[in-house]
A and B are shown apart, each in its own frame.
Chain A
Amino acid sequence: MPRLRRLAAAVLSLAGLGLGHAAGAGEEPDLARWRPAFARPDAAPEPRANPTTPEKAALGRALFHDERLSGDGRTSCATCHQPELSFSDGVARRAGHDGEPLPRRTPPLWNLAWGLTFFWDGRAPTLEAQASGPIENPREMAGDLAAAAVRLRGDPGAIKAFEAAFPADPRISEAHVREALAAYQRTLVSPRTRFDDWVAGNEEALSAGERAGLALFVGKAGCVACHSGWRFTDEAFHDIGLPQATPDLGRGEALDLRPLDRAFKTPSLRERVWTAPYMHDGSVPTLEAAVDHYADGIVPRPTLSPDLPRGLTLSPEERAQLVAFLATLSSEDPPRPAPLPTAAATAGTEPIVAGATRIGQSGRRFAPGAVRIHAGETLTFVNDDTRTHQIRVDDPRMTYASGAQEPGDTLPLTFAEPGAFEVTCGVHPEMHLSVEVEAPPRH
């Protein structure tokens, strides 16, 4: 009975898989210590100036789907950021108004409340600022925010919705359109997945193969160097050596810094099962191919991120385990937003070090993280890290952007005026230094 024999073989190979899992389980004793690093927050941040109220989010949702924001009255945000497709559009590069593919892929919009910069190259500093980008981009919505606001003023429904959303000042203004859109997008929190159950302590939530994938992710494969935290992004910019059919310099162009050419923002890995194809140009069709890239596909060039593992070898089994693990960061059925309560974003709670003027940057951290100095004093940034940094101050009273600050470079920065300032890094926006500048001491 050939059928019987084949059945027996099948059963045997299943048993073999089972054995393999048992052996794998023995090798992961310290995975549990990673749990806190991936714990989900219980509130979503909101800027003090634009708190997320239900009315504002509801207005933002309506505007997100409102084609009147576009020049031709036929395009809304949801035309490209389709809710059914995790707020992306399922294609590599969507055709713009002129019929030609847009330069970059439409990213999904999950968990942007925690974003530090927006767009693949981070050129927008806030969601509020981001919103006018697509509306006024001639190749996207080809609209005009001011004209759109005027159109909405003629709509009694819109007037009511703005009154509910902005009771203190119900004007239908460009700023309010942007704020409502931003508030809505801050409610697009990705739901809990099996991985979150594992983080919460349920060992069985992940299969042995998936745990092996996690072990690779935080271990040998080095993915966690960039895909870190519960959203699996460091919010930083890296060149990961993708072959580029059409050159796109990404962060390098946005900051006009050559060492950052071809660096793009690390995408979150949440709900990625639903958002193929991948990468800024949509050039990678599947999660399998994304994993293959890190082992076989990296194009060597001087701009490669120092955080990128080199010479990584992964067996077919290890690749499958990584893919299986990545899938646990996605819902098993098409996800819907799971909004969290919001809370005003709190600035760093770093202890202030008075008088310190030497600022280290090792391990992508300013050290100390908060200083108090006097006006006229100079901070010295010492790049004792292995990565390229860029010192920035983006403040109406003082704007400053250094060049590419390579490892070993030392950079002086004088604060002339009193006030509270924030220093960040243009490559690693999560780096943060609070500078309290006091009036100069009287002699």
Chain B
Amino acid sequence: MKRRKLWLGLSTAILAAPTPGLPAAIAAEGGLVVAQAHGEHGAKAKAPPAEAKGATASGEGGEGGEGASGAALPPELRLSRGIGLVRGHLLVGNELIEAGRWADALPHFLHPSEEVYGTIRGDLKAFDVPPFDVALKALAQTVKAKNKEAYARARATLDERLAAADRGLKAKEANWDFFTLETALEVLKSAASEYEEALKGDRIVNVVEYQDSRGFVLEAERMIGSVGENLARKDADAAAAVKAALADLKTAWPATLPPKTAVKDVSAVLGDISRIELQLGRLR
């Protein structure tokens, strides 16, 4: 509960004063904008990359940086956020494979096991979710091998594992629609911090981060879409507002490859996300 209040207060702050100086304040308050933790490609990163082995749920260096590693989240939300981040990576990775860009796709298949899995490893058992780190790594191998048929098969296996994770969560979650929305919001927060890492001024200097954030936004959209009708039944106006904000947000990622100049700056992205968050209370 504490977490949510804090974030809501924060969104209000964003709406009230969308000034350029804000991100620093956000960083101080909500821990949203934080140091990049990608060991591989985040040049600024000082935080160690997530250990493939042995990282605990509180492990540092999760996707989107330390503060957003999910350590502070309740386990079910941390787990479903992790699953969402994995799916986000797969979404954008798949776009690149469809475009024949195997080498560009590879980081998006390595990140889930290198950076996300460590943040949820400790939560899997509690939700009766069988481990799927091998399925992730095996999928990355098919991308290394640039083998489309093997990729499709390994992908199907992993999708089945992720679906099992959904089932494990669903079995313990009374309000699935709201929980999904909550998760999508966490995934969007990660998108925002990846997006910030990708930007320097109005230029996108880190393509991989840009693509990460695109994948997360697409996944959040998918999640919200999956419960959209139910949410609309709860509060049609609020659901419509979420949809509209998401549509605005998405314009920052017009394509898999980044635009020459950024469509939105970070505070505009955060503003869109907070518009979604503002509706949360009405959609519970």
Chain A contact residues, CB within 8 Å of chain B: 1-3, 6-7, 9-11, 13-14, 17, 82, 84-85, 89-92, 94, 273-274, 276-277, 285-286, 320, 327, 330, 332-334
Q: A6-B75, A89-B147, A274-B138 given; name 11 further pairs at CB < 8 Å.
A: A2-B174, A3-B1, A3-B76, A14-B125, A85-B150, A277-B153, A285-B153, A286-B157, A320-B130, A327-B134, A334-B137
| Chain A residues whose CB sits within 8 angstroms of the CB of B142 once the complex forms | 84-85, 90
| Chain A residues whose CB sits within 8 angstroms of the CB of B126 once the complex forms | 10-11, 13-14
State whether B145 touches A85 (Cβ < 8 A). yes
Bound together, the chains give a CA A333 to CA B52 distance in angstroms of 9
- B47-62 CB contact bits vs A (8 Å, 1 = yes)? 0000011000000000
Bound together, the chains give a CA A94 to CA B148 distance in angstroms of 12
Given A3-B74, A273-B134, A274-B138, are A10 and B145 neighbors across the interface (CB < 8 Å)? no
- Which interface residue of B1, B141, B156 has the most chain A CB atoms within 10 A? B141
State whether A276 touches B74 (Cβ < 8 A). no
| B144 close to A (CB within 8 Å) | yes
Given A274-B138, A333-B137, are A6 and B145 neighbors across the interface (CB < 8 Å)? no
Bound together, the chains give a CA A84 to CA B1 distance in angstroms of 46
State whether A332 touches B53 (Cβ < 8 A). yes
Measured CB to CB, the closest approach of chain A to B151, in angstroms, equals 8
| Chain A residues whose CB sits within 8 angstroms of the CB of B127 once the complex forms | 10
| B260 close to A (CB within 8 Å) | no
State whether B147 touches A85 (Cβ < 8 A). yes
| Chain A residues whose CB sits within 8 angstroms of the CB of B123 once the complex forms | 10
| B233 close to A (CB within 8 Å) | no
- Which interface residue of A3, A9, A85, A90 has the most chain B CB atoms within 10 A? A90
In the complex, the chain B residue whose C-beta lies closest to that of A287 is B134
| Chain B residues whose CB sits within 8 angstroms of the CB of A2 once the complex forms | 174
Chain B, range 161-210, C-beta contacts under 8 Å to A: 172, 174
Instruction: Provide 13 A-B residue pairs closer than 8 Å at the C-beta atoms, listed in order of the A residue.
Output: A1-B1, A3-B74, A10-B75, A14-B125, A84-B144, A85-B142, A89-B149, A90-B145, A90-B150, A90-B151, A91-B147, A91-B153, A276-B154
| Chain A residues whose CB sits within 8 angstroms of the CB of B149 once the complex forms | 89-91, 94
State whether A273 touches B138 (Cβ < 8 A). yes
Measured CB to CB, the closest approach of chain A to B49, in angstroms, equals 14
| Chain B residues whose CB sits within 8 angstroms of the CB of A85 once the complex forms | 141-142, 145, 147, 150
Given A90-B153, A285-B157, are A84 and B76 neighbors across the interface (CB < 8 Å)? no
| Chain B residues whose CB sits within 8 angstroms of the CB of A320 once the complex forms | 130
In the complex, the chain B residue whose C-beta lies closest to that of A332 is B53
| Chain B residues whose CB sits within 8 angstroms of the CB of A10 once the complex forms | 75, 123, 126-127
| Chain B residues whose CB sits within 8 angstroms of the CB of A89 once the complex forms | 147, 149-150
In the complex, the chain A residue whose C-beta lies closest to that of B122 is A14
Bound together, the chains give a CA A320 to CA B153 distance in angstroms of 22
Chain B, range 48-97, C-beta contacts under 8 Å to A: 52-53, 74-76
| Chain B residues whose CB sits within 8 angstroms of the CB of A6 once the complex forms | 74-76, 172
| Chain A residues whose CB sits within 8 angstroms of the CB of B137 once the complex forms | 333-334
Bound together, the chains give a CA A84 to CA B106 distance in angstroms of 13
| Chain B residues whose CB sits within 8 angstroms of the CB of A1 once the complex forms | 1
In the complex, the chain A residue whose C-beta lies closest to that of B53 is A332
Bound together, the chains give a CA A273 to CA B133 distance in angstroms of 11
Bound together, the chains give a CA A99 to CA B53 distance in angstroms of 41
Bound together, the chains give a CA A330 to CA B174 distance in angstroms of 38
Measured CB to CB, the closest approach of chain B to A280, in angstroms, equals 17
| Chain A residues whose CB sits within 8 angstroms of the CB of B174 once the complex forms | 2
Measured CB to CB, the closest approach of chain B to A74, in angstroms, equals 15
Measured CB to CB, the closest approach of chain A to B79, in angstroms, equals 10
| Chain B residues whose CB sits within 8 angstroms of the CB of A92 once the complex forms | 153
In the complex, the chain B residue whose C-beta lies closest to that of A95 is B149
Measured CB to CB, the closest approach of chain B to A76, in angstroms, equals 13
Given A7-B74, A276-B157, are A90 and B125 neighbors across the interface (CB < 8 Å)? no
